[in-house]
Amino acid sequence: MDICLEDALERVVAWAKEVGEVQRCHFRGYDLGIETKSNAYDVVTKVDKLSENMLLERIGAAFPGHGVLGEESGGHRTDSDYLWVVDPLDGTNNYSQGLPIFTISVGLQYRGETMLGVVYAPYFGEMYTAVRGGGAWLNGKRIHVGDKDMLKYCVLGTGFPYDKDVNPANNADNLARILPHIRGVRRMGSAAYDLCCVAAGFLDGYWEICLHPWDICAGLLVLEEAGGVVEQFRPDREINLVAGNPRVVERMKEYIR
């Protein structure tokens, strides 16, 4: 690698705070420009687009030879060894409803391996960061996954795909199987935030189906650097994962498929 990851991390943290301030200014506003994408459940706002444009401009200025994969604009210069994977506003449904769980997620991959991850929850002022091999951090304090090993004591996170109305592989069966065996379940509405909550021990585990690279790139590195593990549990439906500490993941796999 020909860049300093610590310097890059400092830049990304500053960008995330800048974009987060824009998102806070528009939050619970009356002119979000809400549109639908693939169907009525899959929404985008003008703030998603503005946030991605801001991030792409800053990445392009600081790292002009690098590729970018953004949720809203797709791939740019993706033949580079370096790829920035950007979800400018993960949790758009929450944001459009005036609910405060939403994040900015930025990951940097080098030859397919994620080396840097930043997930920022602007409303809460929570900045999750990780550089490969350097641990996981929340606002400058080291974080670790929880140590529970029995599902009956666990609170898990999950989510559901946008085509849940037409595709029977919509995660409802997994929820029905595991729900009687856990303390509780939470639907945060942001995969990046779910992963970081597991990394910090706020959630004990997380599973979801039909995710995309921008949903999870940064959050997965934060989770792994916090001592968590991630496993894929089915070959179809895009990216499907189970996450937590190793013991919880093994117990979740008894019900998630």
Alpha-carbon distance of 215 to 196, in angstroms, equals 12
Contacts of 36 (CB under 8 A, 6+ apart): 42, 43, 44
Cα(22)–Cα(175) distance, integer angstroms: 36
Start-to-end CA distance of the chain, whole Å, equals: 38
pTM across the whole model: 0.96
Q: For residues 213 and 163, state if they share a domain.
A: yes
Give the other-Cβ count within 10 Å of 166's Cβ. 8
Check whether residue 107 and residue 182 sit in a common domain.
Answer: no
What's the pLDDT score for residue 38?
Answer: 81
Q: Is residue 57 situated within a structural domain?
A: yes
Q: Are residues 76 and 182 in the same domain?
A: no
> Residues 237, 134: one domain?
no
What's 219's domain CATH number?
A: 3.40.190.80
Q: Are residues 115 and 137 in the same domain?
A: yes
Q: Which amino acid is at 40?
A: A
Last residue of a domain, one of 142, 166, 181: 142
Along the 257 residues of the chain, how does pLDDT read in single tens digits? 789 999 999 999 999 999 999 999 999 998 899 888 888 777 899 999 999 999 999 999 999 999 999 999 888 877 899 999 999 999 999 999 999 999 999 999 999 999 999 999 999 999 999 999 999 999 999 999 999 999 999 999 999 988 888 888 899 999 999 999 999 999 999 999 999 999 999 999 999 999 999 999 999 999 999 999 999 998 888 899 999 999 999 999 999 99
Q: Which residues contact 97 (CB under 8 A, 6 or more apart)?
A: none
On whether residue 29 sits in a domain, the answer given is yes
> Do 90 and 129 lie in a common domain?
yes
The total number of structural domains in the chain stands at 2
List, in sequence order, every residue forming a beta bridge with 129; answer none if it has no partner: 118, 137
Whether residues 60 and 138 fall in one domain: yes
Are both 188 and 137 inside the same structural domain? no
Residue 257 lies in a domain: no
Q: What is the pLDDT of residue 75?
A: 84
Stated length of the chain: 257
Sheet holding 74-76, edge to edge: 74-76, 67-70, 82-90, 103-110, 113-121, 126-131, 136-138, 141-142
| Domain boundaries, position 45 | 5-142
The one-character DSSP state at 181 is G
* Residue linked to tokens 């994962």: 241
Which of 93, 114, 142 terminates a domain? The answer is 142
Check which CATH number belongs to the domain holding 21 and give it: 3.30.540.10
